[in-house]
């Protein structure tokens, strides 16, 4: 096996990791190129698609679009492995069938998280894109939610989007054991060595001791889970009505963990 497939949910810090991989591995084939960085305001890093005519489907994997032709994509990966000893492919598709198709070709490495860090994933994702795309953007492949969204104001749509993202994230966490992933988003804050060692073991260089990464981390602390959330989670006290001490995202996570149906919380 050769190369790395790096997968994460939006908001998981993967673009920031890839930005550093680009800087430290110049001879590696990648399906992404440098894009917009905005670490001083939203804390957002964006890398763009690398449009390669030899691998048209792999070039598009950096988006969160559904995989339409899995067999053709499998053929592209076989070609990529044959033609490149080193490559890094980013993607966001959590699909068990796709994973099974590729298991004889290459390992899929997830940037994981646990329930304790779930608020960061959701808050970072939704806040960083708040001013750049419609709040229902990520629901465009769900016809029911898209129809519901047509009857709601933007504030309500935002809450429906939060709920949908939380349910999807928890589903991925459970089905793909993301809390046991080789690297996790919280490592970017608390264990940089774990991230650097993981890529070193795979034959790739990454150095997180940079001003860019320091700026990214400083401007992403506002998305970290609250201590109240962490304490409530530990005690399984899913106090989703606590408006004073919990963020709206944390409250919706607790609403889900409490086994409740969706409702507008404020």
Q: How many CA atoms lie within 13 A of 101 on its CB side?
A: 16
The closest of 216, 23, 240, 54 to 128, measured between CA atoms, is 216
For residue 266, what pLDDT is reported? 80
DSSP string, 144-190: HHHHHHTTS-HHHHHHHHHHHHHHHHHHHHHHTTGGG-SEETTHHHH
Residue, of 176 and 98, whose pLDDT is higher:
176
Calpha distance 214→13 (Å, rounded): 13
Output the DSSP codes for 79-142: HHHHH-SSEEEEE----HHHHHHHTTT--EEEEE--GGGHHHHHHHHHHHTTTTS-TTGGGTT-
The least confident of 134-138, 211-215, 247-251 is: 134-138
Residue 55 tokens, joined: 């691998």
* pTM given for the model: 0.91
Model confidence pLDDT, tens digit, residues 197-235: 999 999 999 999 999 899 999 999 999 999 999 999 999
| Selection from 35, 40, 1 nearest residue 15 by Cα | 35
pLDDT at position 216: 92
SS3 33: strand
71-127 pLDDT, tens digit each: 999 999 999 999 998 999 999 989 898 899 888 888 899 999 999 999 999 999 888
Q: Looking at the DSSP assignment, which residues form a beta bridge with residue 4? A: 88
Q: What count of residues does the chain have?
A: 266
Question: What sign has the CA pseudo-torsion 23, 27, 30, 35?
Answer: positive
Residue 242 has pLDDT above 90, yes or no: yes
* 13 C-beta neighbours (distance < 10 Å), count: 26
Residues 6+ apart with CB under 8 A from 190: none
């Amino acid at each position: 096996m050769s190369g790395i497939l790096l997968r994460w949910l939006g908001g998981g810090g993967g673009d920031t990791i890839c930005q550093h991989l680009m800087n430290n591995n110049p001879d590696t084939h990648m399906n992404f190129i440098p894009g917009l960085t905005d670490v001083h305001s939203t804390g957002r890093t964006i890398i763009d698609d690398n449009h390669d005519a030899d691998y048209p489907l792999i070039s598009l994997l950096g988006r969160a679009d559904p995989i339409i032709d899995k067999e053709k994509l499998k053929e592209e990966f076989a070609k990529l492995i044959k033609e490149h000893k080193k490559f890094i492919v980013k993607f966001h598709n959590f699909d068990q069938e796709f994973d099974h198709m590729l298991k004889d070709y290459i390992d899929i490495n997830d940037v994981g998280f646990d329930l304790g860090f779930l608020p960061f994933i959701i808050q970072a994702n939704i806040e960083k894109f708040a001013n750049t795309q419609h709040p229902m953007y990520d629901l465009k492949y769900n016809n029911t939610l898209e129809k519901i969204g047509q009857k709601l104001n933007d504030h309500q749509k935002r809450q429906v989007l939060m709920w949908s993202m939380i349910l999807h994230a928890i589903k991925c966490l459970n089905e793909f054991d993301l809390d046991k992933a080789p690297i996790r988003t919280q490592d970017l804050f608390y264990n940089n060595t774990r991230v650097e060692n993981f890529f070193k073991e795979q034959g790739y260089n990454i150095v997180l001791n940079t001003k860019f990464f320091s700026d990214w981390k400083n401007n992403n602390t506002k998305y970290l889970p609250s201590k109240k959330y962490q304490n409530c989670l530990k005690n399984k006290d899913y106090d989703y009505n606590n408006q004073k001490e919990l963020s709206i995202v944390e409250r919706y996570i607790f609403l889900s963990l409490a086994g409740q149906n969706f409702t507008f919380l404020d």
